[in-house]
């Protein structure tokens, strides 16, 4: 279009007249094209690029609409700011350990960008089923104290928590909704409250308010929403960590009490052992003289006893020996429990030890007309057992004497071995009275005797507990398999060492 001088100046925005005058002047005097960018409405465009070309007496000009282009630019800058803010928030969320510090820092960055004046963070108190104001900024403490606890459905935050949905309140000064009365009284104009939900569970609420703005734009609300999602997870994580720390403290306290209780128990145990040891010693001396004098009476050739008297002295002797055996067992047990060195390891000939135990027990087995079966031990020459031969024989003797004691007349006793690469198991099997499954776990306890048969056979209930301690000290294992009324197999497993 052809424009006259006055038309041109009417067309150009008055605030840009000076800029254009300078541009026309330079273009004319230097005979060069000039380009300008105008951000004032011109020819119904918001942003315009103007090209000025000197042409004859006048100028040739072109106008290009830059509005769309500039809007995209603005959006990019806004997004960059948003991303920077989110990045800042995320790193804060990862590294912060104190919720108050975290929210204060977050609010600090957000308030610059969004013109915010207050934030409130309520935390859901599961036990009381209420919301408690944990962190806040922008209101005096007295006011915060007055709004420290909210019921579900009360005010904006209580409603957001109840419905688990965000609430946006805008242009609050002209709102008649009673729910916004509280924030209206604080002079807040625009307000957004988010429920904080982590893994489907309500953690609390987080809300932001501005006293100077009446509305938030869509992008700002989106930014707040994204930040609240991250805050939910972080606060949940922090509360979990706090709970874990609390549990840890409680565990440590429980542990201290346990250590104390254990020390007390050990003290009591030692007192018991000392008492038993002392008592056993004190009993042994008078008992030995009872046995000695009974023996003398029994063998007195000068004034021999009548048959009736001899029978009575026999009973004294039998009971006395039983008592002495019991006292000796108690002493052995106490010695073991007190951890005195007891096992002397050396290379042992298992077969020879078994044979020795068998020959010691055979006379008693014969009295009951028991049949004894024994296999040869088949250990390879490079497989060695390190043990204590005396203690090992004591163990086998104990198991064998039980297999005689709790057997029936004409029953069987078998000793067999199972050899694996690292262990040898010695089985002592009998066809005796057997042990119920309930009692199998108890017979290794000191002084425990099975109810049914303990009255019939003599015993103290100490033998198996001693055997178990010895086998354990030998780095072995012991166990029993039994059927009540059919018989039992006691086994000991010992480690094999390769040459
Ligand atoms: P004691 O034989 O002196 O009672 P032990 O400690 O050797 O003590 O055994 C504990 C209990 O285990 C015995 O009283 C008995 O009831 C049971 N018991 C042990 N060996 C056998 C066995 N071979 N058969 C059946 N019961 C047994």
**Per-residue pLDDT, 488:** 97
Give, using CA atoms, the residue closest to atom 3 of ligand 1: 459
Q: Which residue has the higher pLDDT, 5 or 214?
A: 214
Pocket lining: 463 vs ligand 1, CB cutoff 6 Å? yes
From ligand 1's centre to the CA of 283, what distance in Å? 25
**Per-residue pLDDT, 83:** 62
Q: Which of 211, 196, 89, 203 is nearest to 138 (CA)?
A: 211
At 474, list the tokens.
């030998």
From ligand 1's centre to the CA of 452, what distance in Å? 11
Interval 88-107: pLDDT, tens:
665 566 566 777 888 888 88
Q: How far apart are CA 209 and CA 216, in angstroms?
A: 10
Give, using CA atoms, the residue closest to atom 23 of ligand 1: 403
Interval 2-32: pLDDT, tens:
767 777 788 888 888 888 889 989 988 888 8
From ligand 1's centre to the CA of 343, what distance in Å? 24
**Per-residue pLDDT, 64:** 83
**Residue 499 burial (10 A CB sphere; 0-12, 13-18, 19+):** exposed
Q: What is the mean pLDDT of residues 177-188?
A: 92
Residue 80 has pLDDT above 80, yes or no: no
Residue 84 has pLDDT above 80, yes or no: no
**Per-residue pLDDT, 472:** 92
Interval 236-275: pLDDT, tens:
888 788 888 888 989 999 999 999 999 998 888 788 777 8
Q: Residue for token digits 């507990």?
A: 465
Pocket lining: 443 vs ligand 1, CB cutoff 6 Å? yes
**Per-residue pLDDT, 286:** 85
Q: How confident is the model at residue 46 (pLDDT cuts 50, 70, 90)?
A: confident
Interval 128-170: pLDDT, tens:
999 999 999 999 999 999 999 999 999 999 999 999 999 999 9
Interval 419-470: pLDDT, tens:
888 999 999 999 999 999 999 999 999 888 887 665 677 787 888 988 998 9
Q: Are 173 and 188 in contact (CB under 8 A)?
A: no
**Per-residue pLDDT, 55:** 83
From ligand 1's centre to the CA of 321, what distance in Å? 19
Which atom from ligand 1 is nearest to the alpha carbon of 487?
A: 24
Among residues of the chain, what percentage have pLDDT more than 90?
A: 41
Among residues of the chain, what percentage have pLDDT more than 70?
A: 92
Cβ neighbours of residue 289 closer than 8 Å, sequence gap 6 or more: none
From ligand 1's centre to the CA of 205, what distance in Å? 69
Q: Are 205 and 194 in contact (CB under 8 A)?
A: yes
**Which of 464, 467, 481, 483 to mutate for ligand 1's pocket (most ligand atoms within 8 Å of CB)?**
464
Residue 174 has pLDDT above 80, yes or no: yes
From ligand 1's centre to the CA of 326, what distance in Å? 14
Q: Average pLDDT, whole number, for the chain? A: 86
Q: Residue for token digits 């000796």?
A: 328
Predicted model pTM: 0.48
Q: How far apart are CA 136 and CA 120, in angstroms?
A: 4
**Per-residue pLDDT, 79:** 62
Q: How many residues does the chain have?
A: 499
């Amino acid at each position: 279009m052809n424009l006259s001088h006055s038309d041109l100046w009417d067309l150009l925005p008055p605030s840009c007249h000076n800029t254009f005058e300078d541009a026309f002047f330079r273009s004319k005097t230097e005979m060069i094209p000039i380009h300008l960018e105008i951000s004032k409405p011109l020819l119904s465009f918001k942003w315009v690029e103007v090209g000025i070309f000197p042409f004859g007496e006048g100028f040739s000009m072109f106008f290009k609409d830059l509005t769309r282009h500039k809007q995209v630019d603005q959006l990019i800058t806004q997004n960059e700011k948003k991303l920077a803010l989110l990045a800042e928030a995320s790193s804060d969320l990862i590294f912060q350990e104190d919720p108050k510090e975290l929210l204060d820092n977050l609010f600090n960055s957000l308030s610059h960008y969004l013109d915010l004046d207050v934030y409130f963070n309520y935390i859901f108190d599961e036990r009381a089923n209420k919301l408690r104001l944990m962190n806040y900024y922008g209101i005096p403490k007295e006011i915060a104290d007055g709004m420290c606890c909210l019921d579900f459905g009360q005010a904006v935050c209580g409603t957001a928590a109840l419905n688990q949905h965000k609430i946006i309140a805008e242009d609050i000064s002209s709102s008649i909704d009673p729910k916004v009365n509280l924030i209206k009284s604080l002079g807040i104009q625009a307000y957004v409250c988010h429920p904080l939900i982590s893994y489907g569970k309500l953690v609390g609420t987080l809300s932001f308010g501005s006293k100077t703005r009446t509305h938030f734009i869509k992008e700002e609300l989106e930014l707040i929403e994204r930040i609240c999602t991250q805050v939910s997870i972080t606060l949940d994580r922090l509360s979990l960590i706090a709970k874990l720390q609390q549990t840890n403290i409680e565990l440590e306290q429980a542990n201290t009490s346990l250590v104390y209780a254990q020390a007390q128990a050990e003290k009591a145990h030692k007192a018991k052992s000392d008492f038993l040891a002392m008592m056993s010693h004190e009993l042994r001396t008078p008992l030995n003289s009872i046995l000695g004098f009974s023996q003398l009476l029994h063998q007195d050739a000068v004034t021999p006893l009548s048959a009736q008297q001899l029978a009575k002295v026999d009973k004294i002797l039998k009971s006395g020996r039983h008592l002495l055996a019991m006292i000796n067992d108690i002493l052995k047990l106490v010695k073991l429990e007190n951890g005195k060195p007891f096992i002397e390891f050396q290379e042992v000939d298992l077969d020879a030890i078994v044979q020795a135990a068998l020959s010691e027990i055979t006379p008693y087995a014969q009295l009951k007309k028991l049949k004894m079966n024994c296999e040869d031990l088949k250990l390879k020459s490079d497989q060695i057992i390190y043990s204590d031969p005396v203690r090992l024989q004591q163990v086998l003797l104990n198991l064998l004497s039980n297999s005689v004691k709790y057997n029936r007349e004409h029953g069987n006793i078998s000793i067999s071995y199972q050899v694996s690469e690292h262990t040898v198991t010695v089985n002592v099997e009998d066809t005796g009275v057997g042990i119920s499954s309930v009692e199998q776990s108890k017979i290794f306890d000191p002084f425990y005797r099975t109810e049914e048969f303990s009255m019939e056979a003599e015993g103290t209930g100490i033998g198996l507990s001693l055997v178990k301690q010895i086998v354990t000290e030998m780095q072995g294992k012991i166990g029993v398999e039994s059927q009540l009324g059919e018989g039992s197999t006691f086994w000991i497993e010992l480690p094999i060492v390769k040459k």
